[in-house]
Amino acid sequence: MGGRAFTDRMGMGPARTVQRRRTGRLAGWLAGAVGLALAAGGALVAAPPSPPPAAASVGGTSVTILIERGDATQGFSTPTVTVAGDGTLSVTNLDTYDHTVTSVALDSAGVPLFDVKVLHGTTMAIPAVDGLASGTYEFYCRFHPNMRGTLVVDRAGGGTTGVEPAYDQSLVVPSVLTGSHLRLRMREAHVRVLPTGPRTPMWTYAGTWPGPTIRRPAGRDTRVTFINDLPRGAGAMSVHLHGDHHAAKDDGQPTRFLIQRGRSRTYHYPLTYGGEPEPSSFFWYHDHRMDHTARNNWRGLQGMFVVKDADGRTLRLPTGARDVPLMVADRSFNEGNRLANPFAAGPQMVHRHGEMRFTGEHAPPNDATTGTHVLVNGRYLPHLDVSATRYRLRLLNASSASAYTFALSDGRPLIQIGTGNGLLPRPVARPELLLGPAQRADVLVDFHGEEGTRVALRSVPRTDSTAGTGSRTAPLMQFRVQGAARDPSLLPTRLPTPELVRAPRRVTKTWRFDLTGDPRTGSAWTINGRAFDPDRVDHRARLGTVERWRLRNTSDVTHYVHIHAEQWRTLSRDGRRPPPWERGLEDTWKLDPGEVVEVAARFTDYTGAFMIHCHMLDHEDHGMMARFDVVP
């Protein structure tokens, strides 16, 4: 765990010894100072008043969770806090990033027991702690979920505790469209998201969130007409079919070929690659309008797209109702179940030396849009009745910023057979499976012999690395295993992997992802030091050639980088052969701080402008996108 003292996922009791960490840092001093001030008031003091070094555990009747500079990657300076009697709890944030202190446990309405956003350089009280019963409560930061801690409440009398989710809504599987020319009207609709109360007004593709799932055979010409009937103020839209290979004019360009309000546009998807049918894939379609992609996706402009080839039949993978696409995305809500509007606070765009920069509270790096509720196919904590057979789950993370590490509650692995862009060379057992924004995985789960059991799918903290931004701790949904049924499906041991290109030795192009500037004077997420400019060509690739690209993250948060136009082979991750689940085709890669990933593709079929960008949508909107042109 990279030297971190905090290693226990399930929480630590008050009697447990906590290792000291970061000796001599401010944590110990401040905890001591807080203790001293309280001692003067006659209160119980658990933290030693002096001298430093730091104790990671603090307690008393007026307790401070301390966040210091660097904690976004190192974790809370005080990972264990104890509140005794009628004590109070607050958070002091001395970091340059905004953070939250969010309870993992949910109340009976499914809302975190406490969830406090604390801007950098401020202190916030956590009044909800007053009502908590004695016990141990895990907490984390929604923006940087690798920051985790434990709150121990030690008092007489009753109070609120966490409630296991009831999963009482049914999972909704979006309606399926299969035609060769489809029409989808973008319009406002009132969508059932939360189990009780009013429906939520959203911007939708054809009235639902997610929009209809499009299923098309590989190699069959497909046209989709999108009509923009969204409310005034929504502006022009642009639809990107994420992962697919198609012409530049059909790519959902951020500033060109837009769909103005009251107008329509038809996108052409041949579903071919170099004249051959595309591999079986799990794509998704979503808005890609410059500066507004995060807002338009948050409001609901998202849907799934499955490209089928003959693999499914020859491999005897689960089909029909046993092939379930699952789109996972987080949202927050206001009164009346209305979506919160994180975009009302800006940021403001300014220009510095001809490049865009952002100022204000929501400027980079404090622009991560996360939600308190993690939804599956647009419903909160749903369940799915399944037969005691094998299922194929297609997992999509459609969140703006949150990553999820998928795990089943009974500890059995997910059997991953594919990425979003086709099958892997062989199945990989994944006890935990991390997906950042826009990443997908194709997995098998077998419920044979488990009649009557209930298995939860949830997101757990990352254990693969502590260097990155981490994944949410959250329940997602529940499978309720009903009776046995005939199951013609098989568990494949070999898979027909799409052909992988031979890459040149030399790196053709390096793309470096970083943060530039300061939110007070203007900041931006940048690629090679520059913020996005749709009129600037940052690289030219020649049609028909194979290029090797190096992706390098020099910032101190994780990015998930997406490349348009082609389907890419992952050559290496940090100089080593990529892990087994990255040996198929990909379009979006995790880049933890300091990580270097090399990828290769042949530029095939289409010339014109395409994008490379971070798929954390606030990062994309705030500069972290570049244009490359494929030229004849």
Q: Which is nearer to Cu ion, 34 or 616 (CB)?
A: 616
Alpha-carbon distance of 316 to 311, in angstroms, equals 8
Say which residues have a Cβ less than 8 Å from residue 301's Cβ, sequence separation at least 6: 186, 203, 204, 205, 211, 237, 239, 286, 287
Alpha-carbon distance of 189 to 231, in angstroms, equals 11
Q: What's the min distance (Å) between Cβ of 520 and Cu ion?
A: 21
Q: Which is nearer to Cu ion, 308 or 619 (CB)?
A: 619
**Dihedrals φ, ψ of 373, to 5°?**
-110, 130
Apex 525 CA angle, 520 and 530, nearest 5: 105
Bridge-based pairing of strands 80-93 and 57-67 is parallel
Q: What's the min distance (Å) between Cβ of 532 and Cu ion?
A: 12
Closest of 384, 382, 403 to residue 476, by C-alpha: 382
CA dist 228 → 176, 177, 185, 261, 284 (Å):
21, 19, 6, 5, 19
Q: Which is nearer to Cu ion, 12 or 611 (CB)?
A: 611
Q: Which is nearer to Cu ion, 148 or 559 (CB)?
A: 559
Say which residues have a Cβ less than 8 Å from residue 140's Cβ, sequence separation at least 6: 102, 104, 147, 148, 149, 461, 470, 472, 473
Q: What's the min distance (Å) between Cβ of 593 and Cu ion?
A: 11
Q: What's the min distance (Å) between Cβ of 561 and Cu ion?
A: 7
Q: Which is nearer to Cu ion, 404 or 479 (CB)?
A: 404
Residue pair 489/318 in contact (Cβ under 8 Å)? The answer is yes
Q: What's the min distance (Å) between Cβ of 538 and Cu ion?
A: 17
Q: What's the min distance (Å) between Cβ of 225 and Cu ion?
A: 32
Q: Which is nearer to Cu ion, 101 or 614 (CB)?
A: 614
Q: Three-class SS of residue 114?
A: coil
Alpha-carbon distance of 230 to 240, in angstroms, equals 17
Q: Which is nearer to Cu ion, 129 or 625 (CB)?
A: 625
Residue 557 Cα to chain centre, angstroms: 13
Q: Which residue has the tokens 């400019």?
A: 533
**Dihedrals φ, ψ of 356, to 5°?**
-75, 140
Binding residues for Cu ion, rule: CB under 5 A, are 559, 614, 616, 619
Q: Which is nearer to Cu ion, 250 or 367 (CB)?
A: 367
Alpha-carbon distance of 286 to 563, in angstroms, equals 15
What number of other Cβ atoms are within 10 A of residue 277's Cβ?
17
Q: Which is nearer to Cu ion, 322 or 462 (CB)?
A: 462
What's 577's DSSP letter? P
Q: What's the min distance (Å) between Cβ of 149 and Cu ion?
A: 25
Q: What's the min distance (Å) between Cβ of 133 and Cu ion?
A: 39
Q: What's the min distance (Å) between Cβ of 380 and Cu ion?
A: 26
Q: What's the min distance (Å) between Cβ of 616 and Cu ion?
A: 4
At residue 579, what is the residue type?
P
What number of other Cβ atoms are within 10 A of residue 520's Cβ?
9
Q: What's the min distance (Å) between Cβ of 366 and Cu ion?
A: 13
Provide the token pair at 401: 């910023």
Rg (CA), the chain: 25
DSSP string, 83-103: EEEEEEEEEEE-SSS-EEEEE
Provide the token pair at 456: 């939860």
Alpha-carbon distance of 402 to 372, in angstroms, equals 11
Q: What's the min distance (Å) between Cβ of 237 and Cu ion?
A: 23
Alpha-carbon distance of 561 to 556, in angstroms, equals 15
Cross-strand partners of 140: 102, 148
Q: Which is nearer to Cu ion, 245 or 573 (CB)?
A: 573
Q: Which is nearer to Cu ion, 58 or 561 (CB)?
A: 561
Residue 494 Cα to chain centre, angstroms: 30
Q: Which is nearer to Cu ion, 22 or 619 (CB)?
A: 619
Provide the token pair at 427: 């199945």
Q: What's the min distance (Å) between Cβ of 7 and Cu ion?
A: 27
What number of other Cβ atoms are within 10 A of residue 24's Cβ?
11
Q: What's the min distance (Å) between Cβ of 290 and Cu ion?
A: 16
Q: Which is nearer to Cu ion, 169 or 366 (CB)?
A: 366
Residue pair 599/571 in contact (Cβ under 8 Å)? The answer is yes
Q: Which is nearer to Cu ion, 436 or 584 (CB)?
A: 436
